[in-house]
Amino acid sequence: MPTPAAIEFSGVQKWFGTNHVLIDIDLTIATGEVLVVIGPSGSGKSTLIRCINGLEAVQQGTVVVGGKQLTAKGGELAAIRREVGMVFQAFHLYPHKTVLENITLAPITVKRVPREQAEREARALLERVDLPEKADAYPAQLSGGQQQRVAIARALAMQPKVLLFDEPTSALDPEMIAEVLDVMKALAHTGITMVVVTHEMGFAREVGDRVVFMDDGRIVAQAPPEQFFSAPGNPRAQLFLSKILAH
């Protein structure tokens, strides 16, 4: 691997109660890589990426992000979260704050960026996600696609090295999926490390560097998109693809 690792899972195991949800996960994600994680629901995709910023704790093994180990408590976790942005399926914008406040809240409170500078940067980010006129709107006044683009701008405001996307288009109406994917595709070309859980195979094919297929808590196949989609090399991945690509 030519570039240093951005994220490294080694021997990770995780259980929810007696349910073994992540099994023997070894995965290295290079800096600048766009990794697409696919698989049936309940296969552990979301749990996998939630372990990267410590929203879920692993019970065995280690996750190292930007050289910092995540099993460590307190300061290390906060330091990692400052460098890892996350975009959720259900957006999770702050409903009591305007779009601009949603974007500037973390830079101002966590990084102590002066308000004026934070707002200038936020407006630039809103340009980037093509919503410059919505700065003073509240989330409830926006469509799902617009909310998700604001959520991406909010994640970018902390200038993260890694961006996690947890099924960012799964809660959207079909006509809004494209506008969010366009923003994500543009991001993919900026060199930021992206880990994307998605069912959008077009996105995976177009901008993914690698596809990881999960099933029942294990990574059962991984390959560059071209190779993966033509010959996944795993019967379950083959079955999954035949089901979703049939539509």
Partner 1 sequence: MDWSVLGENAGALAQGLLITLEVSALALLLALVLGVIVATLRVAPSPVLRRIGTAYVEFLRNIPLLVQLFFLFFALPSIGIRLDAFVCGVLALGVYTSAFVAEAIRSGIAAVPTGQLEAGLSSGMGYATAMRLIVLPQAIAKTIPPLGNTTLNLIKNSSLVSTVSVLDILGTANLLGARSFQYVPMFVGAAICYLILTLPTAFAVNLLEKRYAR
Give the binding site for partner 1 (CB under 8 A): 53-55, 78, 81-82, 84-86, 88, 90, 92-96, 105-106, 109-111, 138, 140, 154-155, 157-158
Identify which of residues 155 and 211 has a Cβ nearer to partner 1 in the complex: 155
With both helix axes pointing from N to C terminus, report the angle between 144-156 and 99-110 in degrees, rounded to the nearest 10: 20
The distance of closest approach from Cβ of residue 229 to partner 1 in the complex, given in angstroms and rounded to an integer, is 31
Q: Which is nearer to partner 1, 72 or 244 (CB)?
A: 72
CB of 106 to partner 1, least distance (A): 4
Name the residue nearer to partner 1 (CB basis): 193 or 222.
Answer: 193
Longest Cα–Cα distance of the chain, Å, equals 55
CB of 171 to partner 1, least distance (A): 11
> Which residue in the block uniquely carries the two structure tokens 């290390």?
76
Distance of closest approach, residue 78 Cβ to partner 1, in angstroms = 6
Q: How far is the CB of 213 from partner 1 (least distance, A)?
A: 25
Least Cβ distance, residue 153 to partner 1 (angstroms)? 12
Q: Which is nearer to partner 1, 54 or 232 (CB)?
A: 54
Name the minimum Å distance from CB 151 to partner 1.
8
**Look-up: residue for tokens 């704050």?**
97
Question: Which is closer to partner 1, CB of 98 or CB of 198?
Answer: 98
User: For partner 1, which is the closer residue by CB, 84 or 201?
Assistant: 84
7 versus 157: smaller Cβ distance to partner 1: 157
Per-residue buried b or exposed e for 155-171, using 16+ beta carbons within 10 Å of the residue's own CB? bbbbebbbbbbbbbbee
Give CA–CA dist 194/32, Å, rounded: 7
Exposed / middle / buried, residue 70 (Cβ in 10 Å: 0-12, 13-18, 19+): buried
